[in-house]
Chain A
Amino acid sequence: MTAPRVEKAVVPPDHLPIWDDPHQALYSQVTIELDKCDGCRLCAVVCPANILEMYGPKDNLKVRLKADVSGCMSCNNCLAVCVAQGVFATEPYDFVGVYEQKRIGPFEFPRRF
C-alpha cells in the first residue's frame, strides 16, 4: 500500500529542505482504520512526533491526525502499540537536495532468511 507522493521541487544539492514545505520535506502518510480503532489513546500517547489526537464523544473516541502539524517519521510506534493494528504509517520521510535518500528500498517488515 503506497500513499500518493508529492512531486519534489528542484533545489540545489546543498540546500536545507524547507521543513514545513510539503514539496521539500515529504513526511509519511498515516493511515487510520477507523472501524478498528477502539479509542484506547495509546498511539496518540506514544507518537514521538506528537501528531495524533483523539476526537469524538467519550464513548466513541477515535484517533485522527492533528490538522496543523506534520512530521511523521514512519517510526510506526503507533502500530507497535495498537492491538487492533488499525493505525500505521506508509512511505518513508524523504527530503530533497542533500537529504534525498539514495540506495534505499521500500519499507519491509522483518524478513526471515
Chain B
Amino acid sequence: MTDTLDHDIRNDIEALEALECELEATEQVETAHDRTLRRRTAVHDIEPGADWNDVEHAILTRRSIRKYKGRQVPAHMVRRIIEMGRFSPSQGNCQPWSFIVVRDKAMIAQMEAYCAAVCQGMTAGVDYTNYPEGSEQRAAIQANTQALNRDNLNSFHPVPMTAIKSIANGRFAVFHKAPTVILLLVDKRGVGVPDIDIGCVGTNIVLAAQSLGLGTCWVGFSKLLSSNAALCEQLGIAPPFELSEAICVGYPIGNPTQQTISRQTHEIIWWEGGEKQILY
C-alpha cells in the first residue's frame, strides 16, 4: 500500500517537472503571433451600468479633507504620491513643476501664522460686515471689495470671503493643521499655460493619495506666502519658480469614503450625426 503511494507521488513529481520544463521552453521563445497580440491596443468595452473600477472609485470618494489625525504620514508614502504627480500630462511635455514638502511642525506653524496675519489685515479692508448696515463705512468698504474683486478675478467671491473672515477669527486654519504640506511650484518658463499643468500634477497627487487612504486638500490661500520674501527664501521658492498651490496631506478624521455624495450636473452639448442634443 505504502509502496504504491510512494510510486504515485514519484510519478506525479516527474510529470510536474516535465511540465515546468515545457513551460520554460515556451516562455523563452516568443512567437510572431504573441508579438502581434502585444502590439495591439487592448479594447476593454464595459457593459452599460457596470460597477466602478478602482480609479473611478478613488475619484468618487475623494473629498477635500480639512480635519486630520495627528499622526504623520510615512515619508515613503509622500514620495509615492509625488511620483504619481511626476507622470501627469503637461503642455509640450515641459513638466513645469517643482515640489517643496514641509513636514516640519515649526515651519508649518510659521506659514500658518503669516497667512492668518495677512487675512486679518485683509478683513479690515474688505469685510464690510464688520460695520453696521446702512453706515457710510460699510458702503465704502463694500465698493472697495467690489473693485478688488474685478481686479483679482473672483478672489472675493462669497465663499473665500467667508473663509477670510473665519481665518481672521481663528476659526479656520489655512493649512488645516495637516502633518504634511506639499507646495506645488510652477516654472514660469513652461509652455503655454503652465498653471494648467500644475492642476494636472495636483489631481494625480490627490487621487493617488485617496487610493492609499490618505486625505488631501488643495489650499489656494497658500499663495499669500509669496508676499513674504524671507519665508520664500527659507522655503526655497525662487524665480523662475513661483508658488502655485499647496496640497495638505494627512490621515482623515472619520471615514469620508463610506458614502458617495451628490454634485451639480452640468450641461453637455452633444453633437452627433448632424444633430445637437443637450444632456445633463
Interface on A for B, CB 8 Å cutoff? 14-20, 25, 42, 45-46, 48-50, 71, 73-77, 79-83, 85, 92-93, 95, 99, 101, 103-110, 112-113
**B266 lies within 8 A of chain A by Cβ:** yes
Q: Top 6 A-B pairs ranked by shortest CB distance?
A: A105-B265, A19-B158, A76-B261, A81-B254, A105-B280, A103-B267
A/B pair count, beta carbons within 8 Å: 109
**B166 lies within 8 A of chain A by Cβ:** yes
Using C-beta atoms within 8 Å of the partner chain, give the interface range for chain B: 35 or more
B254–A19 CB distance below 8 A: no
Which of B48, B149, B158, B265 is the one whose CB lies under 8 Å from A107?
B265
Q: Mark B46-84, 1 if CB is under 8 A from A, else 0.
A: 001111100000001101111100000000000000000
Main secondary structure of the interface of B (DSSP, over half): loop
Q: How far is the CB of B213 from chain A (nearest CB, A)?
A: 14
B145–A16 CB distance below 8 A: yes
Q: How far is the CB of A110 from chain B (nearest CB, A)?
A: 5
Q: Whose C-beta in chain B lies nearest to the C-beta of A20? A: B129
Which of A18, A50, A75, A108 is the one whose CB lies under 8 Å from B265?
A108
Interface on B for A, CB 8 Å cutoff? 48-52, 60-61, 63-67, 128-129, 142, 145-146, 149-150, 156-159, 161-162, 166, 171-172, 252-267, 280
A109–B254 CB distance below 8 A: no
A82 vs B259: C-alpha distance in the bound complex, in angstroms?
8
Q: How far is the CB of B257 from chain A (nearest CB, A)?
A: 8
A–B Cβ pairs within 8 angstroms, 13 of them = A14-B150, A19-B129, A46-B65, A49-B162, A79-B259, A80-B61, A80-B259, A81-B259, A95-B158, A107-B265, A108-B264, A108-B265, A113-B48
